[in-house]
Chains A and B, each alone.
Chain A
Amino acid sequence: MRSRPRPLLGRSLLRLFTVQGSWNYERMQGIGVGVAEEPLLRDLQEAGDGVAYRAAVARGAHFFNAHPYFCGLAVGAAARAEHDGVPPEQVERLRTALCGPLGSLGDRLVWAGWLPFTSGLAVVGVALGFGMPAVLGFLIVYNVGHVALRWWALRAGWTYGARVALALHQPLLQRAVAWSGPAMALAVGAALPLAARALALPFAGWARSALLAAALVGFVLLWLSRGRLTGLRFGLALLALAALVGWLWR
């Protein structure tokens, strides 16, 4: 086993914040993952093995797609595997095998959990009149979790190498995944009526009744037309209808 470039984990972490910068339909996050992995491979070159370094850099930039905050796990694991002399085809298999689980885990934990949970709390805060402090609180709390997750993923990948699947079974991570769904549902659930009330305050009389009716009809339409009708399309259609009615009913 070769020496481990632990001090460069920091540089790799910084590059991971740009991991989706070169997202494309062919390699998806591959280029970004390669860029983040490169600092961890440098000592292969410094050890005089330029061929191994270039081959590892090329492999690092191949197709990859997972949740961006969990990419560090693949970056660390692949770099460690390269240092441990794991055969190239096995490194490729490891990267491929990680795409699905890391994507699914990140989507559940972050996109459908931590992010809407914290943003739901921010909406509740703004609707209750806390204003800017609620927004700044969201940015701070969300990013404490965000940065901690990125750092944990990179370190765990580097620590476990080819056995990185073990890191995904850590009890804390499993508990976080289990609780993120209910916590999000509670926070966003509370945010909806409070936000609706706050936004409806300037309207009175017939306008409030129309708002309630349009929201109910919209909810039913969006629910029944899942996958075909989006919130954006419905919003534009309703605004066009409102403009037409407003022009006719002067």
Chain B
Amino acid sequence: MASDWTYGSLQDMTNGGSDDLTDIDVITGLGSSLVSVQVLFYLFSTNSANSALLLQLGDSGGYETSGYTWSCSFTSTTQVVTNGFLHSPDSGHDAADTASGVYDIWRYNDSANLWFCRFCGNETTKNSVRQGSGVKTLSGNLTKIQATTTNGTATFDGGTIIARYR
């Protein structure tokens, strides 16, 4: 039996080696019947030493940059943020600390635009698993997802990212 996931396009976070993007549309044009989305990224890095990956949801009004309830951790280090789904509280993700991970995002029910999210990932050569969980309520249907960074100014210089949905 084939999977029922529909894959979006694989995005080169380096923009073909230009290393000039501060954010990237992971997927757009999502439909109203959406049940769940997964966002997977591989060997992500930035030009900054203070730049974890931040995932933000959007509806017809644009991307939401506040109102998230999100906590993430690795070993005994934790962080709570409200501006998105942060992949890790440790912020060093330059080329020496490439990171990979998967976000699982589910709609709570048919009538509400409340989305649950959990994250699991790592840094390629390091021990501790990075984890996170939280929620976000949108004003309308989830139509798009973007990836940016902690401070929104670092540029991606490594990695690929893709979304799949059903």
B is bound to A: no
Q: B residues touching A (Cβ–Cβ < 8 Å)?
A: none
